[in-house]
Every structure is written in C-alpha cells, then in structure tokens.
Structure 1
Amino acid sequence: MQIYLPIAEMSLNVFLLLGLGGLVGFLSGMFGVGGGFLMTPLLIFIGVPPAVAVATQANHIVASSVSGVLAHWSRDNVDFKMGLVLLIGGLIGSTIGVILFSLLRSVGQIDLVIGLTYVLFLGLVGALMLFESVRALLRRRRRPGAPRKLHQHTWVHGLPLKMRFRKSRLYISALLPIGVGFIVGMLAAIMGTGGAFLMVPAMIYLLGMPTAIVIGTSLFQIIFVAANVTFLQAVENQTVDVVLALLLVIGGVIGAQIGGRTGARLPAEHLRILLALLVLVVCGRLAYEMTAPPGDLYSIATTEGGL
C-alpha cells in the first residue's frame, strides 16, 4: 500500500516504513542509541532526499528514545543528573549544528557533507569499538575474575567544576560531559542522529560510566537533543515530513520496548561488539553508495515550461 510523502515529494510503501521504524526502534532499545545513524542511511537508500531524511527521522528518535527510557527507567538504569549535564552541551551544539546545516544547504553541499560525515565517523567509531570490545572480551575470558578498568585518568579528569554523579559512581568535571554533549549535539543536527553512536562509546571509555547505566542515560538526553533538532529544522529549513515521521514513530515505539527487554539479557561486551559490527556495516554500505558509478551517467533536467 503506497502513501504519498508531501515534503519528500514521493510515494513509498506504508509497511516498509513501519518496518524500518520498528527495526530501528528495536536497536534503539537494545543498544541505547537513538537509531538515527541507521535510519538516515536507510531512508536515503530507499530514495528519500538526504535533507528530508535528516530532518524528519529526528521525530522517530524522540519517540523511540522516550519508549526506550521508560523501559530502562523501570530497571533503575538511568542517571538523570548526568543526562542533564550532557543535555546542556547537547542543546547548544545542536542549535549551532542546525545553523551550519542551513548554510551548507544554501550552497548546495549538504548531501555531500552528510554522506562524508557518516562514512568518516561511523568507520572510525565502529573500528575503535570493535577493537576494544573484542580485546576486553578476550581479556575477560583469560582472567574471568580480574577487575576491568573502563578508562584511564588523564589531564581531562583534572578539570575544574567537579561534580559527583552517585548513580554512575563518578566524581569528574562537569566540563567533560558538557563538551561531549556539545560535539554530539552538533553532529546530531548535521547527520540526523541522536548522536548515541558517539555518545555511548564516549560515556563508557572517556567518562568511565557503567555500561548498564550508559544506555538509559544516553536515551534520556537524546530525547531533548532530537526534539530541539526537529523544531529548528522545521522552522529554519522546512524539511520535516510529518507523514513520514508519523509512520516511523509508530513502528519505533513498539520496537524500542522489545529491544529494551532483549538488551537487558545480553552481556555488556556482547552488546558493544554487536553495535560496533552494525555501525561498520552501515558505514560500508554508505561508502559503496557514494563511490559506485551511477546507473545513468547523464540526465536531462527540464523546467515547467518544457525548455
């Protein structure tokens, strides 16, 4: 059953869109990511213009993240204090990111920038996560009872404005999570993601948070960053397709609840390896799409007058 998307100016199968929303919502609940790093490329693969895909699927991130947070909150796995500090940087970064998005769109370079940014960051983050996760798993199997240190103390842990985050068992400078939130928020606006594919590794390896707390906390701050991106994109660029967003949201809310329950049963190391592999697969497909020769080397554009 086809449905017309007014902003994207195309028709797509309703069940395809519901299925995409459900799949990404499931991954959101399982891994603690908003799912935008996967949804945006998937929408581009099925023909949705990149600018519309980036702006619209932020609605899906909000809905699936709310659903995922509720699932993790019920198990007391959300550090709201850390989430609020991350959110300060995220709101500032996402606002600046939307302004940059508008500038790139005005000069006709936004599609290229979106693609290159995805390939660069997905490839880098996926490779680092996979390497560290496999190493940690092997080390754990060799020494099952040995304690595992998630991060090393460096100069960043000596920054001022220290705060105690009891839920995460941390005492660190507030500038560190604010900086992480800022960078992730800016990328969220440009790439159409909640930024969790960067946020989750940063919270685990840089801030040193427990993996079980990271997932729910990440989803909590994603809600507000993605909502800010959606609002600004709608006002500034008019690229939010409400019909497309609604279908993605319906599937995403259902999928996130199932994913949250599934993720709770898997060991932390296995979750990180699966997420790393998923990130690398999406990166590889997107890189192929950007470098593969087009089916038609030439195209003819006509104006409304037929000239």
Structure 2
Amino acid sequence: MVFDDSIAFFIAVGISLIASIIGMGGGFLYVPTLTLLFGLDQSMAVGTSLMVMIFSSGTATLGYWRQKKILITLAAYLIVPAMIFSTLGSLIIQYFDARILVILFILVLILTSLQMIVPSLCLVPAITCGPSFEVNPSGPGEYGKPIRIPYIHLVVWGAMGGLVSGITGTSGGIFFVPALIVIGVPVHFAVATSLLAIIPTSIAGASTQAALGNISPTYVMLYGAGAVVGAYAGAFLSPRIHADHIKKVFGILLIGIALLMIQQKILV
C-alpha cells in the first residue's frame, strides 16, 4: 500500500498534534506510516523519523515554554545520557538485519501501547538510591510542592530513552514522560520537559543517520512541515484536553499497527 506523497503532510499534522499532547516526539507513528504507507525501508524510516521529530518537538516545546511548563534542570540530566546513547543506537543499527529492526520496533510499539492503556502499569520504576536534588514546579493549577529527584533516576532513564530512540526511530518520550511522572512531576510539566529533551536526543540520532545515508529528504520536508503545524496546535490544545483519554485510544491503535506490521513485515 503506497499513498500519494501529498497525503504525507496531513498524516504528519495528525501524528504530531497527538504526540505534542502526550509528550512524545511522534516516532511511534512516523516510522510505521513511512514503512507501511510510503514504502520506506526500516532504516530509512528510522532516520527520517528522527529528523522529523526535531521539527515536531521543537515547535511543541516553544508552545510549552510560553506556558512555563518546562523544568530545565530535569531536561538537562535526561539530555546528556540520551544524546550519547541515541548516537550509539543509531550507529549499531547498521549491523542489524532489517527484520530484527522491525521486531525491535514492534516490541517498543507494544510497550508504548501498554503504558498508554494501563497508566498504573509501572514499566518505568523509580530509582531512588544515591544523591538527589529538589525542583519546585509552579504554574496554573499546580501547588508548587518541592519534589526530590535522584540524579541516577534521570541518567538511567535518559540513557534508555536515547538508546531506544536511536535504534527504533521513536522518541525518548516513551521513557522520559513516565520516568518523570513516577517521581512526582505533574503530568503537564513531564510532557513539556520530555519534549525539550527529545530535541537534542533526536538531533544526535538524526545526525548519525544522515551520515549513514538513512534520511529521505522528500519525507523530511513533507512530514516536517506537517509536524510543525500539528505540534503547534497540540501545544495550544494540551491544557484544555485530558491526555489520558487520548492515550488509551492511541494505545489501542498502536496495538493494531503492531499487528499489521507483524503481518506485513514479519509473516511474509
């Protein structure tokens, strides 16, 4: 099934709108739509997705910045390990068979869907050992209660998010958002902080993929333009929408996409 290229813009608008509301870069849908609808191979889809996430996450971050929802210190501790491991992940996928990459992506898709459907399922546990520091979120509807954050918690889940991002082309938000929420960060702050952390993480992975020739300029432009529009709208709508309801619907959708990828990419 190959869609007309002009439709790519509108697909990217929808994906990035949802991704900016739930705090993920959109790779969980960029990659499967690029492979299933537009015929890109898995490596090319991963590299293109990482590049597009720079546009979508960057635009959404600007919106959240104006709302004063971003916790810079938390983002910084996620970003450093995430960039290192995103680069590493992007380098090692050239040694993976294409089918292995698809299987890894499907596993990440299922993990993402489980987190969306069952928020109480603790797939990203808190790591509470070692030294810590305090942050004090503040903003409309928040109480500004100080939260104690262990350094190791951010470093470990930042590294995990970066590695998964580099290998599969999804965003580190799959780990960043739940890792922040599980230690007490209010959900809108977690979403905004995650989106900021996704930008340099995606830049690191996309730069490596570009050097390897795994970028489609056509779909970077089409998806990138749509991503900017959708992310801007998502950041504007986010304070007015209960993200949990959207997560459950899209969690079910992701399971369907995972099954479709198994049928078309594995059982052939």
TM-score (norm 2): 0.87
Note if contact 1:204-1:210 (Cα within 8 Å) is conserved in structure 2. Answer: yes
Partner of 1:161 in structure 2?
131
> What displacement does 1:116 show?
1.7
> What displacement does 1:293 show?
9.2
- Of 31, 39, 46, the residue aligned with 2:30 is 39
Cα deviations across residues 90-126 of structure 1 (Å, max 9, x unaligned)?
012112211221221xxxx1x2223222322332342
Note if contact 2:31-2:49 (Cα within 8 Å) is conserved in structure 1. Answer: yes
Letter of the structure 2 residue corresponding to residue 199 of structure 1:
F
Please provide the CA RMSD for this pair: 2.5
Letter of the structure 1 residue corresponding to residue 15 of structure 2:
V
- Of 203, 218, 221, the residue aligned with 1:246 is 221
User: Which consecutive unaligned segments of at least 5 residues does structure 1 have?
Assistant: 1-10, 136-149, 298-307
> What displacement does 1:193 show?
1.5
Note if contact 1:37-1:195 (Cα within 8 Å) is conserved in structure 2. Answer: no
Letter of the structure 2 residue corresponding to residue 54 of structure 1:
V
> What displacement does 1:89 show?
1.4
Partner of 2:209 in structure 1?
233
Letter of the structure 2 residue corresponding to residue 52 of structure 1:
M
- Of 64, 71, 74, the residue aligned with 1:72 is 64
Aligned length: 257
- Does residue 99 (structure 1) correspond to residue 121 (structure 2)? The answer is no
User: Among the aligned pairs, what percent are the same residue?
Assistant: 21
SS in 1 for 2:57: helix
Partner of 2:49 in structure 1?
57
Q: Work out the CA distance in 1 between the residues paired with 2:153 and 2:89.
A: 20
Letter of the structure 2 residue corresponding to residue 124 of structure 1:
L
- Of 84, 101, 117, the residue aligned with 1:130 is 117
Question: Which sits farther off after the overlay, 160-169 or 29-38?
Answer: 160-169
Partner of 1:142 in structure 2?
none
Q: Work out the CA distance in 2 between the residues paired with 1:123 and 1:45.
A: 17
> What displacement does 1:219 show?
0.4
Q: Work out the CA distance in 2 between the residues paired with 1:224 and 1:293.
A: 30
> What displacement does 1:262 show?
1.6
Letter of the structure 2 residue corresponding to residue 76 of structure 1:
K
Cα deviations across residues 217-271 of structure 1 (Å, max 9, x unaligned)?
0100000000111101111x2111122101111111011111112221023xxx1
User: Which consecutive unaligned segments of at least 5 residues does structure 2 have?
Assistant: 139-145
Would the alpha carbon gap of residues 244 and 184 (structure 1) be closer, same or farther in structure 2, given more than 3 Å must change?
Answer: same
Q: Work out the CA distance in 1 between the residues paired with 2:64 and 2:100.
A: 34
TM-score (norm 1): 0.77
Would the alpha carbon gap of residues 290 and 84 (structure 1) be closer, same or farther in structure 2, given more than 3 Å must change?
Answer: same
Would the alpha carbon gap of residues 240 and 180 (structure 1) be closer, same or farther in structure 2, given more than 3 Å must change?
Answer: same
Letter of the structure 2 residue corresponding to residue 79 of structure 1:
L
- Does residue 174 (structure 1) correspond to residue 151 (structure 2)? The answer is yes
* Map 1:105-116 → 2, pairs under 5 A: 109=97, 111-116=98-103
* Map 1:155-304 → 2, pairs under 5 A: 156-157=127-128, 159-167=129-137, 169-205=146-182, 207-235=183-211, 237-267=212-242, 271-291=243-263
Q: Work out the CA distance in 1 between the residues paired with 2:131 and 2:100.
A: 35
Partner of 1:23 in structure 2?
14
Note if contact 2:117-2:251 (Cα within 8 Å) is conserved in structure 1. Answer: no
> What displacement does 1:14 show?
3.5
Note if contact 1:79-1:167 (Cα within 8 Å) is conserved in structure 2. Answer: yes
Note if contact 1:34-1:194 (Cα within 8 Å) is conserved in structure 2. Answer: yes
Q: Work out the CA distance in 2 between the residues paired with 1:175 and 1:293.
A: 38
SS in 2 for 1:13: coil
Partner of 2:143 in structure 1?
none
Question: Which sits farther off after the overlay, 37-46 or 277-286?
Answer: 277-286
- Does residue 81 (structure 1) correspond to residue 73 (structure 2)? The answer is yes
Letter of the structure 2 residue corresponding to residue 70 of structure 1:
L
Question: Which sits farther off after the overlay, 115-124 or 66-75?
Answer: 115-124
Letter of the structure 2 residue corresponding to residue 219 of structure 1:
L
> What displacement does 1:286 show?
2.5
Letter of the structure 1 residue corresponding to residue 24 of structure 2:
V
